[in-house]
Amino acid sequence: MYKLISTLIILVVTSQIHSQVVAPETHNLDTGKSILHWKGSYVFNVSEHNGEVYFKDGYLNSINDNVIGGSFTIDMTSITNEDHLHNRGPVTHLKDEDFFYIEKYPEASLTITSIRYFEDTNTHEVFADLTIKEVTKNIKFYAIIDGQARSFKAHFKIDRTRWGITYNNEVKNRAISEAIEFKADLQF
């Protein structure tokens, strides 16, 4: 009898715990309204290039208006540069083996692994895995996240050499900075 009562109590408690679990909501990325701006520069020359790259797909997951994760696929073939439109920019070079080698690696990805929320602010610390050229590295950045996961804005830099992109990073006077700056404006 004791075993039967114990089993019933465990079943009741377990069913109450499971009924309180909230399933995450999925918010699909609006690829037509979302953009990733990039900027690269030289170390010793006052010169820079910037442009845009677009997303193939993506989503955020949230529970009770708190983003808990997400994943995005970046279409590396879509990389643009305003200077390139005027026949003087680096887009062709960025697409070849020296940089992103898009013929072999047409996509990059970013997967959010965790988020640390700060009280009374929409700015949060985001931890993610960034994959470029099939190399995955952890990154951390800060993002402004709409409470209902309608928008996600972030501004951060990465060291391109962590992903094996080392072209012209040590030539003294013409060295290209190892840092690439990104501004993400994502809409859901």
Q: What is the pLDDT of residues 134-184, one digit of tens each?
A: 999 999 999 998 867 689 999 999 999 999 998 887 776 668 899 999 999
pTM score, two decimals? 0.82
Instruction: Give the pLDDT confidence score for residue 180 in this predicted structure.
Output: 95
Whether residue 2 is predicted with pLDDT greater than 60 in this model: the reply is no
The dihedral formed by the CA atoms of 139, 160, 88 and 106, expressed in degrees to the nearest 10: -70
Q: What is the pLDDT of residues 30-55, one digit of tens each?
A: 999 999 999 998 888 888 889 999 99
The ranges assigned to domains in the chain are: 24-187
Average pLDDT, the chain: 86
Whether residue 96 is predicted with pLDDT greater than 70 in this model: the reply is yes
CATH class of 24-187: mainly beta
Cα Dmax for the chain: 85
Q: How far is residue 160's CA from residue 41's CA, in Å, rounded to a whole number? A: 12
Whether residue 26 is predicted with pLDDT greater than 50 in this model: the reply is yes
- Spatial neighbors of 185 by CB under 8 A, at least 6 apart, are 34, 35, 36, 37, 151, 153
